[in-house]
Amino acid sequence: MKNICVVGTGYVGIITAACFADLGNKVVALDIDENKIAGLKEGNMPIYEPGLKELVDRNVLANRIRFTSSYEEGLKDAEFVFIAVGTPSGVDGEADLQYVASSARSIADHIKDGLIIINKSTVPVGTGDWVSDIIKEQNPDAGDFSVVSCPEFLREGSAIADFMAPHRIVVGSLDEDAAEKVAQLHLPLRAPIVVTDLRTAEMIKYASNAFLATKISFINEIANICEDLGADVMEVSNGMGFDSRIGPAFLNAGIGYGGSCFPKDVKALAYMAEESGRHPQLLHSVMEINSDRRVMAVEQVKSMLGNKDLTGKTIGMLGLSFKPNTDDMRDAPSITIAGLLKEAGATVKAFDPIAMEEAEKLLPDVEMIDSPYKLAESCDLLMVTTEWNEFRQLDLKRIKKAMNSPVLFDGRNIYDPKKMKELGFQYRGVGRGYNGRKQH
């Protein structure tokens, strides 16, 4: 059993704290937001994540996790402290490290000899060295401490499973003994452990996310070509995925990626490259293709309704969060799409199983409806913007009957085109050959 402090109770922090507690460690989750800490003490989770509340409650009862807003209390017995604070995008795409810097200074004020400080947040290459410098500057008598990079690879909606059964653990440090101790901390997970230097570990995270984003933009580019040539991108993805060099994951054509990681991490990597005098043209193309997906979705809606001016039309959006099983609205495609629909004159309504409370803050002009069937009432077109499993099980006959006209744009390709046609829908997916094969 180890004594661990986790700084930050956002997405990465609360998952990290709860999971390490569940592995039998003593964990203090620390956040300067006293409202968050008060909520956690009352059993209220700061995010929606399947299974998180049950995990936290179990470990609170077992006295393995507690919550505080005091660095003095959080670091009192800590052998390891994880920095898991936000690193949002700055004006030019650079990572904003103000919260990392603030955490490092506060840690320096309460540091003990031998403390291992672990950057869990996604931070630019070189941040580990920078954190070490901040601590030494803040507290010249800091004594012996080490900084380690251990980037997270958690997917929202399946973060607990990803933590407990990771594909790999990446540990980077210039201090071999500290790296070994952090590796030992993760041994119960029985995952491959990659031990390297600080900067390489930091780059592994950025390179991994950029590559996955590239796969998404690649298949969306292929979807555009399929659309014109009469091929079906779903079958193309399936055929590609059997090749072990390619794999099936992240080859789902649609309206693009969003969330807290891919958009800001690709931007940040491009920014780092440009600052080094490089020309990251592939990264820029990935971002450009992804941005175009949102415009494409609105153009498809206009085409299906036969009018570029959507005045007088009511559009219903099925899904708001950037992906299923989360309430995260950060850079969700639905935000841009709703704005473009409104600009074109449409009335926009929406339903999401989890994210409507968050969405209301960002989309005040979009009416939130409490069920997909009520959403369908009086709609001229429905569009699928998030692939929630609930939407796959809808009574589509009932949906059709409620609508002004049975028109559905499937931005996530969750429905079978043949079935939708048999039901009498005017239906269009993304990159499906039946959408309008060119005549030669």
The model carries a pTM of: 0.94
**Pairing mode, strands 3-7 and 26-30:** parallel
Average pLDDT, the chain: 96
Which residue type is seen at 95? A
The DSSP H or E segment spanning 396 is: helix 396-402
| CA 363 to mean position of chain CA atoms | 19
Picking from 256, 328, 316, 327, the residue whose alpha carbon sits closest to that of residue 288 is 256
d(CA 59, CA 68): 15
d(CA 295, CA 4): 46
d(CA 156, CA 327): 9
User: Phi/psi class of residue 436: alpha, beta or left (left: φ > 0; alpha: ψ in -120 to 50)?
Assistant: left
**Pairing mode, strands 80-83 and 65-68:** unpaired
Residue 140, pLDDT > 90, answer: yes
Share of the chain above pLDDT 70, in %: 98
Residue 396, pLDDT > 90, answer: yes
Picking from 113, 107, 34, the residue whose alpha carbon sits closest to that of residue 75 is 107
* DSSP 8-class letter at 148: E
> Do 326 and 354 meet the contact criterion of CB atoms below 8 Å apart?
yes
**pLDDT for residue 307:** 84
- pLDDT grade for 435, boundaries at 50, 70 and 90: low
**pLDDT for residue 91:** 80
Residue 123, classified by CB atoms within 10 Å of its CB into exposed (0-12), middle (13-18) or buried (19+), is: buried
- pLDDT grade for 56, boundaries at 50, 70 and 90: very high
Residue 440, pLDDT > 60, answer: no
Q: Is the dihedral of CA 27, 71, 11, 363 positive or negative?
A: positive
> Do 315 and 381 meet the contact criterion of CB atoms below 8 Å apart?
yes
**pLDDT for residue 439:** 42
The DSSP H or E segment spanning 146 is: strand 145-149
d(CA 27, CA 33): 18
Share of the chain above pLDDT 90, in %: 95
Q: To 10 degrees, what angle do helices 281-305 and 262-275 make?
A: 140
Residue 49, pLDDT > 90, answer: yes
Q: Please enumerate in sequence order all residues whose Cβ is within 8 A of that of 416, keeping only pairs 6 or more positions apart, or say none.
A: none
Residue 379, classified by CB atoms within 10 Å of its CB into exposed (0-12), middle (13-18) or buried (19+), is: buried
Residue 394, pLDDT > 90, answer: yes
Picking from 337, 257, 294, the residue whose alpha carbon sits closest to that of residue 350 is 337
The DSSP H or E segment spanning 162 is: helix 159-164
Which residue type is seen at 267? K
| CA 74 to mean position of chain CA atoms | 28
**pLDDT for residue 434:** 67
Q: Could you report the per-residue pLDDT of 189-213, keeping only the tens digit for each?
A: 999 999 999 999 999 999 999 999 9
**pLDDT for residue 90:** 84
Locate 216 and state its tokens.
Answer: 């998404």
- Which residues are identified as catalytic? 261
Locate 142 and state its tokens.
Answer: 């800091």
Domains and CATH numbers, the chain: 3-194 (3.40.50.720), 211-435 (3.40.50.720)
Q: Could you report the per-residue pLDDT of 217-265, keeping only the tens digit for each?
A: 999 999 999 999 999 999 999 999 999 999 999 999 999 999 999 999 9
Residue 437, pLDDT > 80, answer: no
Q: Could you report the per-residue pLDDT of 150-185, keeping only the tens digit for each?
A: 999 999 999 999 999 999 999 999 999 999 999 999
d(CA 86, CA 345): 36
Q: How many CB atoms lie within 10 A of CB 172?
A: 25
